[in-house]
Structure 1
Amino acid sequence: MGPLFSFPVSLLLWIFMQFFRFLLLMLGLTAVIGSAQAQQVYAGHDPLAHTFSIVARDPKTGDMAVAVQSHWFSVGTAVSWGEAGVGVVATQSFTNKSFGMRGLALLKSGKTAQQALDELLATDEGRDVRQVAIVDAKGGVATHTGKKCVDMAGHQQGAQYSVQANMMLNATVWPAMAKAYEQSAALPLAERVLAALDAAEAAGGDIRGRQSAALLVVRGKASEQPWDDRIVDLRVEDNPAPLKELRRLLRLQRAYDHMNAGDLAVEKNDMPSAVREYEAAEKMFPDNLEMRYWHAITLANKGQLPAALKLLQPIFKQEPNWRTLTQRLPKVGLLTVSEAELKQIMALK
């Protein structure tokens, strides 16, 4: 007999059976995958971002915001989307992340918020488990809560805004969000949408608890410098109190806005304004050594050495590395004092 028949019959039979089982398994997997693709309900790489969110446009400035909190890791990378001069989108529940980019593209092509939403849902077999909200650059609003979103789920629209939630502890969450947003009209848009999130949490929030949050604010009109068109872009990826942390980050950004305004005033040689801006930043975060340090360096560069020394002394005492950094600044032109003045600075105890 040839080489093939030298194998025991039992071994050949075993090999055949294993191949047959593998073939059946592959056919079964193909059927499952095909069914899942046909339904387009949930893909393994998409998050189950059950959550509450708000999309809004400020009628005074035209700026637009989307803010969200969820018991899901890094919710801002899935739910919140926005582009200056175009609109904002929140896509959640059994999240279809493509709704973010596709929704913005439809708005950019001239579609209204409602037209964009209608087009997104028309081809989505999973529409019953989606929750989506869109605000366009003209203040148009469109919202969809699928009939199979996990209770409690719903949404409420108002003038140039929409609040929406699913998998909530109770059905009072989104009405509380709407009320808080409407009662906070005097606040800047970022703080106003955060007020809505705080109200949702106070009303019971996500039945699972809390983990992450995000806040995005874009300009009402796109500029020629798109890198500056995101006014606020903050995320808390994993935190036991994400809204508290998000507020801290926003407050920190406001403080650095003052620092930037101070730097601009220095460029214009407006030292009184620069000092006011620096002091405003330091008042918000008095323990931030860097804010105080660059304030001091600016004073030194503008010939106000005694005031600079007063600020630098406790900084050097608390963290010696700032003294080391100071020695390196003249080389790159960031500290322009005389040699004698530099010696005075370095001699601080």
Structure 2
Amino acid sequence: MNRLLLFFCFLSITSLSSQNINAEKDAFAHTYSIVARDTVTGEMVVGVQSHWFSVGSIVSWGKAGVGVVATQSFVNPAYGPEGLELMASGVSAEQALTQLVEKDEGRAFRQIAFLDANGNVSGFTGKNCVEAAEDLQGKNFSVQANMMINDKVVPAMAEAFVQYSDYPLAERVVEALKAAQEAGGDIRGKQSAALIVVGPERTDKSWEDKKIDLRVDDHENPIQELSRLLKVARAYEHMNKGDLAVEAGDMEKALKEYGTAEKMFPENLEMKFWKAVALANSGRIEEAKPIFKMVFEADKNWKEMITRLPPSGILTISEAELKEITQ
């Protein structure tokens, strides 16, 4: 814990009992974040960065078709599940946040933002949040920060979110986080970041709730790393679509999706391998051979891997063709 936080803890512990704050249990997440909704797709997002370990594990909450929550400063994690439960029952973001803030005796130390599936947003910054601290709402988004180096961080996030309106929602939020850092960011520096995206429709399948769920728990350039991971995630979205096309027997679509992924990460052996598989399954063995050869030379395990595919039906070439590829 750095000196600033130690000092702040010392000062706050003397008054926390009256605010129902438990300094040993309440997590610190002095940070900047954004909650937002895409008006076209209906997707909702939370993006956050902090000079604190694993900020995404406590700040960002979301549920498809319901809403998203960012709870920070002296974190009361109950705002996440309780806020989502209220919004799921039809309570608006503003009403839900108001209800929870009113019953929270530690509200003076909290900073929270709610956004519901209808695009309603609400933010709260307690009077005891460390400056520079504020929240700012716009159409379908809220940006908030505390313990910033200056008062330019929050406006910079809002401006960037509006500026990059033609970007997909996740990439748009990353640009807002970048703008916050460029404006000065957290007075303590940077350490972790997170990004979650939930869909517009409710689902009872928990594994389908989050479309994107990325965390950088400890990194010297967390937003840069988050941006890189998002690009990887997008590439693997194409890989997944390619896998589904293979299952459906649509090798042309599989080839297109694998090829798109490979262009995004040309050094990735797996992407090359599955593109070659799609080529082979499409009868384009001669095009596939040099790709397989390059992959096998780089890592011999892929050569063993290809021999295991025919029994599963993933590779549909003849034994003679398989021998040609592996010889």
TM-score between both structures, scaled by the size of structure 1? 0.86
SS at structure 2 position matched to 1:115? helix
| Equivalent in the alignment of 2:216 | 236
| Equivalent in the alignment of 1:23 | none
The separation in 1 between residues aligned to 2:45 and 2:23, in whole angstroms, is 27
State the shift of 1:189 in Å: 0.6
| Equivalent in the alignment of 1:332 | 312
| Equivalent in the alignment of 1:174 | 154
Q: Give CA-to-partner distance per residue, 1:115-141, whole Å, 9 cap, x none.
A: 111111111111011000000111111
SS at structure 2 position matched to 1:90? strand
State the shift of 1:251 in Å: 0.4
Give 1:207's match in structure 2, choosing from 167, 184, 187.
Answer: 187
Q: 1:199 to 1:42 in 2, by over 3 A?
A: farther
Structure 1 unmatched ranges of 5 or more: 1-32
Higher Cα Rg, which structure: 1
State the shift of 1:335 in Å: 2.5
| Equivalent in the alignment of 2:80 | 100
Contact 2:59 2:70 in 1 (8 A): yes
Contact 1:296 1:309 in 2 (8 A): yes
Q: How many correspondences in the alignment?
A: 314
| Equivalent in the alignment of 2:169 | 189
Contact 1:293 1:311 in 2 (8 A): yes
* 1:59 and 2:11 are equivalent in the alignment: no
State the shift of 1:147 in Å: 0.7
| Equivalent in the alignment of 1:6 | none
Q: Give CA-to-partner distance per residue, 1:208-233, whole Å, 9 cap, x none.
A: 11111000110111146442231111
The separation in 2 between residues aligned to 1:124 and 1:224, in whole angstroms, is 30
Contact 1:48 1:94 in 2 (8 A): yes
SS at structure 2 position matched to 1:89? strand
Give 1:131's match in structure 2, choosing from 101, 111, 133.
Answer: 111
The separation in 2 between residues aligned to 1:100 and 1:199, in whole angstroms, is 26
Q: Give CA-to-partner distance per residue, 1:78-123, whole Å, 9 cap, x none.
A: 0000001110000000110111111111111221111111111111
Q: 1:230 to 1:48 in 2, by over 3 A?
A: same
SS at structure 1 position matched to 2:211? strand
The separation in 1 between residues aligned to 2:323 and 2:247, in whole angstroms, is 26
Structure 2 unmatched ranges of 5 or more: 1-12
The separation in 1 between residues aligned to 2:16 and 2:151, in whole angstroms, is 31
| Equivalent in the alignment of 1:153 | 133
SS at structure 2 position matched to 1:238? coil
State the shift of 1:274 in Å: 2.8
SS at structure 2 position matched to 1:306? helix
The separation in 1 between residues aligned to 2:308 and 2:216, in whole angstroms, is 35
State the shift of 1:309 in Å: 0.9
Segment drifting more, 330-339 vs 90-99: 330-339
TM-score between both structures, scaled by the size of structure 2? 0.91
Give 2:272's match in structure 1, choosing from 281, 292, 307.
Answer: 292
* Matching residue's letter, 2:277: I
* Matching residue's letter, 2:117: A
The separation in 2 between residues aligned to 1:134 and 1:331, in whole angstroms, is 50
| Equivalent in the alignment of 1:198 | 178
| Equivalent in the alignment of 1:114 | 94
SS at structure 2 position matched to 1:76? helix
State the shift of 1:307 in Å: 1.6
* 1:91 and 2:74 are equivalent in the alignment: no
The separation in 1 between residues aligned to 2:319 and 2:174, in whole angstroms, is 50
Give 2:228's match in structure 1, choosing from 248, 255, 264.
Answer: 248
Q: CA RMSD in A?
A: 1.7
State the shift of 1:341 in Å: 1.2
SS at structure 2 position matched to 1:276? helix
What fraction of aligned residue pairs are identical, expressed as a percent?
Answer: 56
| Equivalent in the alignment of 1:17 | none
Q: Give CA-to-partner distance per residue, 1:157-192, whole Å, 9 cap, x none.
A: 100110000000000000000000011111111011
The separation in 1 between residues aligned to 2:243 and 2:77, in whole angstroms, is 39
Contact 1:42 1:94 in 2 (8 A): no
Q: Give CA-to-partner distance per residue, 1:232-266, whole Å, 9 cap, x none.
A: 11111111011111111110111111122223334
* 1:164 and 2:155 are equivalent in the alignment: no
Contact 2:280 2:288 in 1 (8 A): yes
Segment drifting more, 168-177 vs 324-333: 324-333
SS at structure 2 position matched to 1:142? strand
Give 1:303's match in structure 2, choosing from 273, 283, 293.
Answer: 283
